[in-house]
Chain A
Amino acid sequence: MREETIKKILLAVAAILTTIFCLGPFIYMVLTSLSGNPDFLLPTKTFAFTSRNFIAVIFSESAHFLAYLRNSLVISAVTAVATVFLASLAAYALTRLSLPGKTVLLLCILALSMFPPISLISYLFKLISALGWVYTYPGLILPYVAWSMPLSLWILVSYFAQVPKDLDRSARIDGASRLQTLIKIILPVAAPGVFSTALLVFIFAFNEFLFALMLTVDYRSRTIPVGIALFEGIHGRIPWGEIMAAATLTTIPVVILTLIFQRRIVQGLTRGAVKQ
């Protein structure tokens, strides 16, 4: 009985601390973005509510905020769809065809995702510059697709393996081609897993930094994390209110996605690491 009470108190304290830990910096960001003065914590200052920071960020031509955000959304969405489709093809082959050394191949591909991105960037930079793609979306989308392929494959294989093989076998007997079987039978049945994978790839591409820093030059293809990282303001003093307004606007899409699809994201993430 005593242990129960102690446990309840401990749980409550831990839950509150965890909430503060996770949300504290996030709330600080939102508060600063809504304040006319970023130093509102000083005893001599007070919090002055304003929407000026948001208006400045959204309507400033020189900050290119909207262009960065659009680039990020388009690049991430295209990357997610392309990666999941191409990785599905491979996951189909790995789960439905007899292939010697399948597990080893899969593990070797997974090991690729552990490479430090810095060890690719020298060559990628030269390649993308030589192709003249540093101002274009494909200059980021193609490396992103390659980079998110291993983990997508890993997750999709674990989902496809759970689709009963009889389902696609009977479709094949009815004369459907492999591609038709994949698109009409396996993908719909494994839809939750496919969606989880696409979400993870989207969030990865939206958050990626090093490639975006090296492989883009200006607002034509630069993504929002780089835009925010390099945003220093024009007049010397760092415009914290505006930076936090931009940060808030950037985090809104990913935070909403995360809150809505929490279960899907967790499923996808843990597929890669824990055997069910």
Chain B
Amino acid sequence: MIDKVKVPFSLAGRLSKMLPADREQLSGYAFLLPLLFFISALILLPVLGTFLDSLRRDLPYLPSKFVGLENYLAIFRDDGFWDSVRFTTLFVAVSVPLEVILGLIIALLLNETFPGRTALRATVLIPWAIPAAVSGRIFELIYNYSFGVANYFTQLLGGGQVNWLGTDLGAFAAVVIADVWKTTPFAAIILLAGLATIDPDLYRQAQVDRANFMQRFLKVTLPLLKPVLIVTLLFRTVDALRVFDVIFVLTGGGPGGSTNAMSLFAYTYYAAGDFGYGAAVSVLLFVVALGFSLAYIKMARLGEEL
């Protein structure tokens, strides 16, 4: 009986005992190794490393020293940190709904048949394709106080020049508008794909029932689009939480720290060589983002079960 034969517990022994088909199957799992290597070495390990960094303090000319939760305690007493939390929350709360609503309007438009629709679908992708650092630069020029196109229009409309990048409110609006321009296309594309999955018979049925446009939208489109709408909201929220490039270029966090997003706040500490403090801020942002990621996973799995 094969079972009775004592085989030393070794991988080689186990492998030689396996059926050829099983060994084959095992070789297939090796296909996952490059992915797992990259993910562990360059995503998971860095996240862990950043967490460990957040427990240390960097000292000039000396090795960094373990300080436990001191960085976190300092952060909670840091007004600059709370300012960045407040800005990031406001930024998400204002820009994400704007992007999704505008995206929905554009998606509804692109879902209709009209001449030039294909061209418009391609045009909509242009803001999405342009690097955020470049669009940040374009908007910096648009908001230029003396000759930018934004103030050209405010004056044309009878208003005065607006100090877009030099005042708190102006800078907030400037950053939100630039982000809305850059990311609304993404929302529109995802929502358009969602609209395409709605059965046209439902609209025909609604038409027979003499439902008007608004009724069709509220009773057919919106309920059926809900899962895709939530996914879009989540994607955009996670993305807006970690906003960095457009603000780095446009305001650099200013004026006076009024647009200092959390990523930017952490970055200024990295740039100054204070990795422990920057890492602690990053870990806090990570925890918030993780919460949203888990919400997404739960959503996606719910969708699968339904």
Residues of B within 8 A of A275 (CB): 197, 303
Determine if B142 and A258 form an interchain contact, defined as CB atoms under 8 angstroms apart.
no
Determine if B28 and A251 form an interchain contact, defined as CB atoms under 8 angstroms apart.
no
Determine if B149 and A28 form an interchain contact, defined as CB atoms under 8 angstroms apart.
yes
Q: A99 vs B10: C-alpha distance in the bound complex, in angstroms? A: 23
9-residue interface stretch from A14-22, A47-55, A56-64, A190-198: A14-22
Q: A213 vs B300: C-alpha distance in the bound complex, in angstroms? A: 34
Select the residue from B34, B130, B144, B279 with max chain A CB neighbours within 10 A. Answer: B130
Number of A residues near B (Cβ < 8 Å) is 96
A210 proximal to B (CB < 8 A):
yes
Contact of B133 among A28, A225, A258 (CB under 8 A): A225
Contact of B245 among A109, A153, A209 (CB under 8 A): A209
In chain B, positions 248-301 with a C-beta closer than 8 Å to chain A are 248-249, 262-263, 266-267, 270, 275, 278-279, 282-283, 285-286, 289-290, 292-294, 296-297, 300-301
9-residue interface stretch from B73-81, B92-100, B230-238: B230-238
Q: A87 vs B37: C-alpha distance in the bound complex, in angstroms? A: 12
Select the residue from A3, A42, A92, A247 with max chain B CB neighbours within 10 A. Answer: A247
Contact of A87 among B35, B279, B285 (CB under 8 A): B35
Contact of A111 among B32, B267, B293 (CB under 8 A): B293
Determine if B53 and A122 form an interchain contact, defined as CB atoms under 8 angstroms apart.
yes
Closest B residue to A21 by beta carbon equals B181
A273 proximal to B (CB < 8 A):
yes
Residues of A within 8 A of B279 (CB): 122
- Interface 0/1 of B121-153, CB less than 8 Å to A: 111111111111111111101101011110010
- Closest CB in chain A relative to B171 CB, distance in Å: 17
- Interface 0/1 of B186-205, CB less than 8 Å to A: 10011011100100000000
- Closest CB in chain B relative to A178 CB, distance in Å: 6
Determine if A18 and B124 form an interchain contact, defined as CB atoms under 8 angstroms apart.
yes
Residues of A within 8 A of B44 (CB): 112
In chain A, positions 121-167 with a C-beta closer than 8 Å to chain B are 121-127, 142-143, 145-147, 149-150, 153
- Closest CB in chain B relative to A4 CB, distance in Å: 11
Select the residue from A12, A114, A121 with max chain B CB neighbours within 10 A. Answer: A114
Residues of A within 8 A of B86 (CB): none
Contact of B147 among A18, A38, A117, A224 (CB under 8 A): A38
B67 proximal to A (CB < 8 A):
no
Q: A40 vs B152: C-alpha distance in the bound complex, in angstroms? A: 11
9-residue interface stretch from B1-9, B11-19, B112-120, B162-170: B112-120
Q: A65 vs B138: C-alpha distance in the bound complex, in angstroms? A: 17
Determine if B123 and A116 form an interchain contact, defined as CB atoms under 8 angstroms apart.
no
Contact of B213 among A3, A96, A214 (CB under 8 A): A3
Determine if A89 and B35 form an interchain contact, defined as CB atoms under 8 angstroms apart.
yes
Determine if A111 and B297 form an interchain contact, defined as CB atoms under 8 angstroms apart.
yes
A73 proximal to B (CB < 8 A):
no
Q: A225 vs B131: C-alpha distance in the bound complex, in angstroms? A: 7
Determine if A210 and B109 form an interchain contact, defined as CB atoms under 8 angstroms apart.
no
Q: A259 vs B121: C-alpha distance in the bound complex, in angstroms? A: 9
* Known contacts A14-B109, A266-B193; is-contact A22 B126 (Cβ 8 Å): yes
* Known contacts A145-B38, A149-B39, A270-B189; is-contact A93 B28 (Cβ 8 Å): yes
A23 proximal to B (CB < 8 A):
yes
- Closest CB in chain A relative to B36 CB, distance in Å: 8
Contact of B109 among A18, A92, A250 (CB under 8 A): A18
Determine if B47 and A119 form an interchain contact, defined as CB atoms under 8 angstroms apart.
yes
Q: A153-B35, A209-B132 are in contact. List 4 more A-B contacts (CB 8 A).
A: A22-B124, A90-B34, A116-B263, A119-B282
Would you list 9 pairs from A and B whose C-beta atoms are within 8 A, ordered by A residue? A40-B147, A115-B290, A116-B263, A116-B286, A126-B275, A207-B130, A209-B131, A225-B134, A274-B193
4 smallest CB-CB distances across A and B, nearest first, come from A123-B49, A146-B42, A39-B147, A116-B242
Q: Which residues of A contact B (CB under 8 A)?
A: 3, 7, 11-12, 14-15, 18-19, 21-23, 25-26, 28-29, 32, 38-42, 45, 86-87, 89-90, 92-94, 96-99, 103, 107-112, 114-127, 142-143, 145-147, 149-150, 153, 178, 182, 203, 206-207, 209-210, 213-214, 224-226, 228-229, 240, 243-244, 247, 250-251, 254-255, 257-259, 262, 265-266, 269-270, 273-276
